[in-house]
Structure 1
Amino acid sequence: MSKSPGERAPVMSFLWWKRPRSAFLDIGLAVLAALECVVNGVNFFDSRMHVSGAASVGIGLVGVLAGGTLVLRRRWPAVPVLVTLLLMPVMLSVTLLVVALYTLAETWEWPSTRRRVVGLSALAFAECVLVMLVSMLNPGDTQVEQPPLWGQVLLSVMVSVGLTVPPVVTGLYVGARRRLIESLQDRAHGLETELDLLAEQARERARRARLEERTRIAREMHDVVAHRVSLMVVHAGALERIVAKDPEKAAQSAKLMGEVGRQALNELREILGVLRMDDERGQPEQDSLAGLPRLVDQSRAAGMAVTLTVSGSRQEFTGEAEQTAYRVVQEGLTNAHKHAGGAQVSVLLAYAPNGVRVSVVNACPGGEKSAAQLPSGGNGLVGMRERVIALGGTFSSGPEADGGFRVEAVLPSRLAVRTDRLGR
């Protein structure tokens, strides 16, 4: 199984040791400290009293147990220190003292446990000074000349400092360094996780962007193809009926079909090739509110009884807003061609202080039906609603009380192009 970049490799553990080599190290130190405790303990008692064999075995057993406490130093770091303080006067072990103080300082958190670390270390230092001073004041060999008292005190302090201060300072440094490395590792793992999350979010945003782009292209294709092809089908049906009766009108219808077809091809080229066009290029006039009269004329030429009403003061809106309003009217006319052949259709363009409103209302189609039944995919109104709502406007569509149908959209005034400039 593959592992993620931020996943840590598993570590083989044994009891409280994370690695086998740590167990071997502690056992080796325990054996060395036990031998030193046994030798020093036997020498201490043998120099002051006669020690029998059974007593030597007992002293040796105590020394083994004292040195063996180093095996527990990673689990209970205070145990070797307490044993050292308890047995230091009779069996001083340098290995046990140094390793115990080092482990205490390295293992216990600083500064949360600094009082205990400082307290036990200071107690060990004081006891070490006292033991060294007593040993010098009561030497086993009285033949050797001893230094003066101040020299013995100074020597005891220096030896005690050498035995206690370096392991404590080294333990504090190693512990702080270890905790810093662990903190940096945790931070690195957190950053890796965050980067993985950001990468996943970026992939999700890219997927959504592709989906939105496909939806937008499909919407543009529908807007262009549905209306233009609907007009062409209507003209083709009319041409089929009048070609024998009125050749001149049939020729006009054929010419109009060609013009509508060319417009559809041009708009398809714009969708397929100009989707990469920068925003500075404005929308073509036929795809803006200025192109509504031409759009209405094309529907009127196809036989639709349609009127256009413009109210309010003309105001220019952003290219996307004007194209959206244009597409709403286009979709409304396309629906009227499909489902309300022969009905009266009204197109309204109203400029107001709060924005612009466009609506397409067709009466109840009780008259002549369309010569050809035009298919409907049901996606036009849904696409229009998405367009308008995306710009912050409102969209509504539905049947009227008299049996007709209304398509209406309102775009907010914030989409208007501001022509006023601050005076210098």
Structure 2
Amino acid sequence: MQLQELGSSTWLSPARVAAIEKLLASTPLGREIVSVKIWAPGGRVVYGENAGQTFPVTDDQEQAWKGVVWSDITNLQDHENASQRGRFTRLIETYVPMRIEGSDRVIAVAEFYQSTAPLDAEIAVAQRRSWAVVGLTTLLAYVLLSGLVRRGSDTIARQQQALQEHVGTLESVLAQNAELHGRVSRAAARNAAHSERFLMRVSSDLHDGPAQDLSFALLRLESLAVHAAGHAQAERALHTVEHSLESALREIRAIATDLRLPDLLGLGLREALERAIRDHRRRTDIGASRDGLLPSLAPSGGAAPPGTQLDAGPLPADVPLPVKITAFRIVQEALNNAARHAPSPAGVTVTAAVQEGWLILQVLDHGPGFTWGGEALEGHLGLVGMRERAESLGGTFTVTLRPQGGTCVEARLPLRPEETDV
């Protein structure tokens, strides 16, 4: 109301100036205001410290002339604020457009300067409250997280303790298992030695008992042949008996020879396998030799039969005696089975190789072939014995049908049975 006369006048009357000063002095808002300027169009000050002076219109004042209330914190760098710069470093500067009553036409702009102290105090209070909230929130989160971490740590500690107990139990079980395995291996070796000694006694008993009796019977038949001379029927009967006794004597001597284990202690693994082949060649017509190493076993006037060979890579010479005995017996029995069930002009191939501490033995024949599932078969009782020999050392034994025909007898034997896991 005090500024309406600026709609028709370029200056405020002294009465209006006095009314404005009284209003500022008697109201709470007026006491908070540091300085007031009233601007007329063109940047002329019509009320305030710089009344009568003209200054450039600032961007903030320009917004007020467009009808916008504008407020900001000023650093008092404008020319019209020279008097305040000595007392304040910054103030709240507010531009308010003044309109003619009942119209939107702006006739003046009132500029108010307020101290920032109340605002700074409120900001400080708000900051302290914010920091208090942040601190309390952080403390609460820390307490919650500490509880979670403590429970997690306790759970981990319990699990670690349980794991250590399980590991200790497992180590104890493994140690017991290793001890038991060592005992089993040593027992298997002792059992193999006992079995070989028993077989040697049986061999000696066969040689000194039934074989001698049959030999004596054959000698007696020769004396009886004189009395049967001229009697055709008696001669035929004596001939039949003599043939049967000779066949039985050969069988008993062959069995006694097979039962008696040769001295393998001074032989390497390769020599033990060659010995098994050599003994087999002496008893059968099936070739099972190693080309170039056993020329004495080749047929007279020629080389060994085609495909009958010991195909062996580098083999260790120093292996435990139970391994040599088992390898010898398996090859011996497999060759006997091949001669009995799968005779072939192509002969038999024996392969031997070492892979990662294991001896891989294969006896390959060219017969009809079959796959053995581990059951006891009539006429194949030796398969069970070979499997038991291999498994007593911690090895494996399989019999499978070869894709190209024939049978593959394979034994996997540990070169160091005492180090093999069971």
Instruction: Report if TM-score (shorter chain) is over 0.5.
Output: no
Structure with higher Rg: it is 2
TM-score (norm: length of structure 1):
0.32
Q: TM-score, structure 2 length as denominator? A: 0.32
Query: Per residue, is there more helix in 1 or in 2?
Result: 1
Which one has a larger percent strand, Structure 1 or Structure 2? 2
